[in-house]
Amino acid sequence: MSEEALSFLIGLHNEVSTSMAEVHALHERAGALSVRPLGSVPVQEVRLPASQLDKGLSCYRQAPGVRYIEPSATYRILQVNDPYFWRPYSTSHNGAVKQWGLERIHAEAAWRRLRSRSTDPIRVAVIDTGVDVAHPDLYRNIARENGLLLTFNAIDESRDVTDEHGHGTHCAGILAAVTNNGRGVAALTCNTVELLPVKAMGKDGSGDLAAVARGIVWAVDHGARVLSLSLGGTEYRRTLQEAIDYAWRQGAVVLAAVGNDGNETLDYPAGCFHAVGVASVGAEGQRSSFSNRNRSVCIAAPGDIILSTTPVSNPFALQESGYRPRYDALSGTSMAAPLAAGLLALIAAAEPQATPDQLVQRLERSADAQQWTPEIGWGVIDARRAVEKVESPADKGAVVGRVTDRAGVPVGTWVHVGAVRVHSGPDGLFRLLLPAGTASVYVGHGSGAHVVEVVPGADTFVDVEVGVHPEESGNHCVLSHVEQEEQASGEKAPVALSTGGVARQTIAGTVGALLLMLTLLDLFPPK
């Protein structure tokens, strides 16, 4: 009988990870039963015997080359799990279900505008339960390398992405179905993409952290600029954040479904920094009843009764999951995420030199809401507006940064300007979308206001160090009512912390530091 083993993720320092002999010796001392790297990020998955768990964990924690160690986590596909919610609207209506979502976001207008442009295919990845690569409405748009389909099974590191569930094939069709071929369904991307199918979830619709992170890294290393993840779990893990950060640094964007609990539950990866959280709306543009509402929501897309592809090669698996073969209509934020990912791919095709920050800003700015809300973020995506050349400056910017305590430990707390607010994640990172202009940004724990100039279409960076009052708990937040400030002529100019882009800029020189100090003293005079 084999000994019980538990999985952990070990983050290594870059300079140590290159010394394979040292790493191998460390794993031996810890008693690791198996070791698997996650690819291009310095993280390794290890399995430790349960009987010697304390010894193994202690060994890793004391090693100078280890940045962190964390247990694995389970993530699941995000679908509406009540079968009677979607089954009456499936293809049993003999084609009555039409692709209303594409009409709602003005897909045809976007296609007409892009038709005259010659664009290279954009590689997009669907990380899910796999994809039926033999589906006649998908096969032609799957990426190839040396004449072979370019696929990846992140569970066993093979090429076999057989979809034993159906969820992944449905998401893949929304993002990359062959369009204008006289059969089946169309995709918003209209044959401008190459699909990278990545299997990270099993037959039961669940998978572990290592497989999801490994799938992200593999997709990016094989050219994906857009990644769609219709999966999630409530446990934050640093390894997942590192995989998403790696994608962002390489010029790729991760879009993730925000979850289907219909409440404020925060799911990851949608809640991770640099991930674009996608909510679901119905035909009237209102938040779907099942769609989560929280700080992770960036934009929204149609997710109710969405018609797409389902496997044709594995009918027995479909009988268990309840999907009908070839095509079916399903609902969930799982359907909204690949639709938004498709629009981001269209934007990338139109602007191949755009950075991830620029791509996301275009996506958010082209949505139909004037003010961010936790229900639908910046509103429902609009393909026509997104691909049009923006003649006037954007009217929105973002304040991003990290909240820590005085010891440098990340703090999860509210960051807000008036009614617009977000909660910094477990790593202290936050992103707050605001109208352009001067604003006073407040952070929890009564740390005071930070006067910033929100630059149109750019990021303003501000790192905040907060002190915790003795009587307050670690995550307690002091909320204040703060209004957008308007600078009158002759008044002191605000402290500008950034001019945009992804490179960090901080207050330079003693003048900036003095102005910030004066601002804080005005708001919180010494007693």
Torsion of CA 504, 484, 296, 398, to 10 degrees: -30
Apex CA 370: angle with CA 367 and CA 373, to 5°? Answer: 85
**In sequence order, which residues have a C-beta less than 8 Å from that of residue 170 and are 6 or more positions away?**
308, 309, 310, 323, 328, 330, 334, 335
Distance CA 161, CA 296 (A): 29
Q: Is 426 left (phi over 0), alpha (psi -120 to 50) or beta?
A: alpha
The sheet with strand 437-443 has its strands ordered as 420-423, 414-417, 437-443, 449-454
- Tell me if the bond preceding 269 is cis, omega within 30° of 0: yes
Token code pair at residue 385? 């507006």
CA separation for the pair 26, 360 (Å, rounded): 41
For the chain, helix, strand, coil in percent to 5 are 25, 25, 45
- Which candidate in 27, 135, 165, 167 is catalytic? 167
Would you give the distance in Å from CA 58 to the centre of its chain? 33
Give me the phi and psi of 128, to 5 degrees please: -160, -145
Catalytic residue among 334, 366, 424, 447: 334
Q: Which residue has the tokens 């160090």?
A: 465
**Residue ranges with strand state E in 175-305:** 193-199, 206-208, 226-229, 231-232, 253-257, 275-281, 297-302
Distance, CA of 489 to CA of 96 (rounded, Å): 61
CA–CA dist 332, 325 (Å, integer): 19
Tell me, yes or no, if 427 is annotated catalytic. no
Active site residue 208: no
Tokens of 397: 């910017």
| Main-chain phi, psi angles of 349, to 5 degrees | -65, -35
Is 476 one of the annotated active-site residues of the chain?
no
DSSP 324: P
From the list 418, 71, 127, 417, the residue with the least C-alpha distance to 252 is: 127
CA distance 337 to 16: 37
Catalytic residue among 27, 72, 90, 128: 128
Cβ neighbour number for residue 117 with a 10 Å cutoff: 10
Give the torsion sign (CA, 61, 64, 66, 68).
positive
The order of strands in the sheet holding 74-77 is 206-208, 74-77, 231-232
Residues making up the chain, counted from first to last: 527
Residues annotated as catalytic are 128, 167, 334
